[in-house]
Amino acid sequence: MENFHHIGSCPIRDVLSKLGDKWTMLIMVTLKTNGTMRFCDIQKTIGDISQRMLTVTLRSLETDGLIVRKVYAEVPPRVEYSLTETGYSLMPHIESLVGWALEHMADIMERRGVREEVRS
Amino acid sequence: MENFHHIGSCPIRDVLSKLGDKWTMLIMVTLKTNGTMRFCDIQKTIGDISQRMLTVTLRSLETDGLIVRKVYAEVPPRVEYSLTETGYSLMPHIESLVGWALEHMADIMERRGVREEVRS
DNA sequence: CGGGATCCGTGCCGATACTG
DNA sequence: CAGTATCGGCACGGATCCCG
C-alpha cells in the first residue's frame, strides 16, 4: 500500500472508475447469487434499473471480461449472462466490503441523521 | 448475501454512495499510509484534488465518523485529520480490493483497449 | 425478448475569488 | 493555513421511441 496516486495509474482510481458506478456491483452480486440469468430476469431482480443502464453496464462488464454474454439463436431471442472466473474472483472482496457495511452502516446513517427522509 | 435490493436499504448501494465517489477512498488510503495529516499535506499528497473537494469530502467523512478532525488554536491555524477506529476497520477490505485490482486491472485495461489514449 | 438511438435533466466536481 | 462561497461544464443516468 504505497502512495500510488499522482503519476500514471492508481489502482484505487481504476477500481472505482470501473466498479464505483451505480449499477455494476448490483448486477454482479445478482449474477453471483442467481447464477446464469437472462436480461429480463436481471432487470426484474434489481427492480429499478432502466433497460438502457442494464445494457450499458452489461456491455462494459463484458468488455472487461467480468461477465460472459451468451446468445441463443432462437425466436424469441434468448441471451444469458454469467460471471467469468475473473468476475467470480472479485466477489469475495465485495462481500467482505458488504459485510463491513452491514456492521457499520446503521451507525453511519444515524450520525448523518435520517432526517433526509424518503426523498425518492 | 441475499437479494437485498429493491425494498428499503441495500448495503451495496449504501457503501457505494458513501465511498464510491471520486476522492473518499483516496483520502482514506492517504491517511492510513501517512497517519495524522494536515489539510495542506493531504492535498499535496493526492496532488490533483481541489480545495473544495478536499474540504467537502473530509467533512463528509467526519460526519460519518470515519475520520476525526482536530483543530489547534494557533496562528497560523493548524488542523489535523486522522482515521477513527471505524475508519481504520474499513481499510483491510479496501486493501483487499486494491490487491485484486493490482492483479487484474492490467488485463482489463488491455481488453478495453488502451486506445483511449491520454485524454487528460 | 433484448436490445439501439436519441434527448435531456440533475448533480458531481473543477475553477476562481474571497476570508479569519 | 485552512477554509467558505459562487458559478458553470459536463458526464452520468433516466425516459422515451424504435427495431430485428
- Digit-coded pLDDT (tens) for A74-103: 989 999 999 999 999 999 999 999 999 999
Chain B positions in Cβ-Cβ contact with residue A118 (cut-off 8 Å) = none
C-alpha B52 chain-centroid distance: 15
Q: What is the mean pLDDT of chain A?
A: 89
Question: Can you give the pLDDT at residue A9?
Answer: 78
- Digit-coded pLDDT (tens) for A22-70: 999 999 999 999 999 999 999 999 999 999 999 999 999 999 999 999 9
Q: List, as own/partner pairs, every contact residues A7-11 make where C-beta atoms lie below 8 angstroms and the sequence separation is at least 24, other chains included.
A: A9/B105, A9/B109, A10/B26, A11/B98, A11/B101, A11/B102, A11/B105
By CA distance, what is A5's nearest residue in B? B46
Nearest nt to the CA of A75 via C1' is C1
Question: Can you give the pLDDT at residue B9?
Answer: 78
pLDDT over threshold 50, residue B120: no
Domain B11-119 - what CATH class?
A: mainly alpha
User: Which residue type occupies B101?
Assistant: A
Question: Can you give the pLDDT at residue B116?
Answer: 45
Output helix, strand, coil percentages for chain A, rounded to the nearest 5: 60, 10, 30
Strand C nucleotides where any atom sits below 7 Å of a protein CB: 1-6, 12-17, 20
**B38 CA to C6 C1', in Å?**
48
Q: Chain A contact for B18, CB < 8 A?
A: yes
Spatial CB neighbours of B38, under 8 Å, sequence gap ≥ 6 = B78, B79, B80, B81
Question: Can you give the pLDDT at residue B1?
Answer: 45
Q: Chain A contact for B3, CB < 8 A?
A: yes
By CA distance, what is B49's nearest residue in A? A6
Mutation target vs B (from A10, A15, A69, A111; most B CBs, 10 A cutoff): A15
- Digit-coded pLDDT (tens) for B4-37: 665 567 999 999 999 999 999 999 999 999 999 9
**B77 CA to C20 C1', in Å?**
10
Mutation target vs A (from B6, B12, B68; most A CBs, 10 A cutoff): B12
Q: Chain B contact for A105, CB < 8 A?
A: yes
pLDDT over threshold 50, residue B118: no
Task: Please choose, from the candidates B89, B53, B50, B55, the residue with its C-alpha nearest in 3D space to the C-alpha of residue B69.
Answer: B55
List C-alpha distances in Å: B98 to A4, A56, A74, B90, B91: 11, 25, 41, 13, 10
Q: Reduce the DSSP state of residue B73 to 3 states and report it.
A: coil
Distance (Å, rounded) from C-alpha A3 to C-alpha A6?
8
Spatial CB neighbours of A28, under 8 Å, sequence gap ≥ 6 = A61, A66, A67, A83, A87, A90, A91, A94
